[in-house]
Amino acid sequence: MSAKNFVVCDWGSTNIRAFLYLDGKQVEIKKSHEGVTTVRGKDCEGAFDRLTAEWFQKYGPMPTIMAGMVGSINGWTDAAYLDCPVDLGDLSSQLTEVHHSKGYKIRIVPGICVRDKDNWNVIRGEETQLAGAFKLSPSKVYIMPGTHCKWVLADGSRVNSFRTAMTGEMHSIMMKYSLVGLGAGEQEDSEPDFMAGLERGYTENNIVPRLFEIRGANILGGIKPCHVGEFLSGLLIGAEVASMQKIFKFTKEDSPLTVIANDFFYARYEKALKLAGLEAKQLDADTCFLEGIIPLAQSLL
């Protein structure tokens, strides 16, 4: 057993990804769909063993560190939320111990939260990406697009505050369950429709009446049904950027804002930020995650 062998887990709502490090180097990745929503706190040890037992049989017990929804109330063990402002350099002293029947050394990274009367907010999983991003790209503002898009105010290794826009989830449920997506059918890319939505969402920041109008335009021939999703995406992202700019009062001096996203999302947010007069910079989410979690894993060795 080498002192530099360890396992790193990104355990979210829908998936688990486990990374095996031998002698300090990543040698294998395993994935399963036993995310927290599936397991719901019932057999986390089983889900973990099913995914990684082969590694433990081959290389013996290895310290394991986990981040993500596995630390939520429906996860393996309820890991704390640390209150902002919080120094992510201190995460290694705030890990939560997990009981494994074989006595494996497993720890979960805490989430972070804001408990203001004006802002109740939680992050679980992204704090680990942020810890990595702080090293790779020092910025005042980080944006992490996705189901729940996080906007984080940082200062060195400290998170001062953050907010969340439910943009991805809203897009998904509006297309799936609301009149906006009803009968819209298979969707196609459309830069002009995305841009039209983006400009409306950003300049008005007034989505309540605009959502139904997507349906109206669909019925009356103002938009092709297959482009409804693109307009909606633009509308929501535009409103998100306008809202965050209004709340946080971003100026050019806060630029470039670091967007932790794949190319697809980065392209959309870069356009939205440009409309807001702000510059963007891209970082890869997996790179940030590993950069953030490896020092925590090493702290267990």
Residue labelled with tokens 């946080």: 248
Cβ closer to its own copies: 53 or 219?
Answer: 219
Among 30, 163, 224, 281, binds its own copies (CB under 8 A): 163
Q: Binding string, 197-226, against its own copies, x = CB under 8 A?
A: --------xxxxx-xxxxxxx-xx-xx---
Binding track over 113-132 against its own copies, x by CB under 8 A: xxx-x-xxxx----------
Q: For the chain, what's the residue count?
A: 301
Among 52, 64, 128, 164, binds its own copies (CB under 8 A): 164
- Look up residue 80 and give its DSSP letter: P
Q: Which stretch in 41-49, 95-103, 243-251, 286-294 sits in contact with its own copies by CB under 8 A?
A: 243-251
**Least spacing, CB of residue 176 vs its own copies, in Å:** 8
The first and second tokens of residue 183, run together, are 């009968």
Torsion sign across C-alpha atoms 118, 121, 126, 130: positive
By C-beta, is 214 or 290 nearer to its own copies?
214
* # residues contacting its own copies (CB under 8 A): 49
Report the residue from 170, 184, 294, 297 that binds its own copies according to the rule CB under 8 A: 170
Angle at 108 between CA 76 and CA 18, to 5 degrees: 85
**Binding to its own copies in span 171-190, by CB under 8 A:** 173-174, 176-180
- Restricted to residues 264-293, the positions that interact with its own copies (CB under 8 A) are none
Query: In this complex, which beta carbon is closest to its own copies, that of residue 63 or of residue 145?
Result: 145
**Binding track, positions 7-46, relative to its own copies; x by CB under 8 A:** ----------------------------------------
Q: How many CB atoms lie within 10 A of CB 67?
A: 29
Amino acid, res. 243: S
Q: How far is the CB of 199 from its own copies (least distance, A)?
A: 12
CB closer to its own copies, 24 vs 146: 146
167 binds its own copies (CB under 8 A): yes
Cα angle for residues 86, 247, 73 (degrees, 5° grid): 45
Torsion on CA atoms 26, 32, 38, 43, rounded to nearest 10: -70
Quick one: 18 or 257, whose CB is closer to its own copies? 257
Any residues with CB less than 8 A from the CB of 16 and at least 6 apart, and which? 9, 10, 31, 32, 33, 34, 35, 47, 48, 51, 70
* Stretch 66-85: interaction string toward its own copies, x if CB under 8 A: -------x-------x----
In the complex, minimum distance from the CB of residue 78 to its own copies, in angstroms, rounded to a whole number? 11
C-alpha neighbours within 13 Å on the C-beta side of residue 219: 8
**Which residue blocks in the chain are alpha helix, DSSP H?**
36-39, 44-59, 126-136, 167-177, 191-204, 207-220, 228-248, 263-275, 285-298
Tokens describing residue 217: 């335009």
DSSP code of 91? G
Residues of the shown chain interacting with its own copies in the complex, contacts defined by CB under 8 A: 73, 81, 113-115, 117, 119-122, 148, 151, 163-167, 169-170, 173-174, 176-180, 205-209, 211-217, 219-220, 222-223, 236, 239-240, 243-244, 246-247
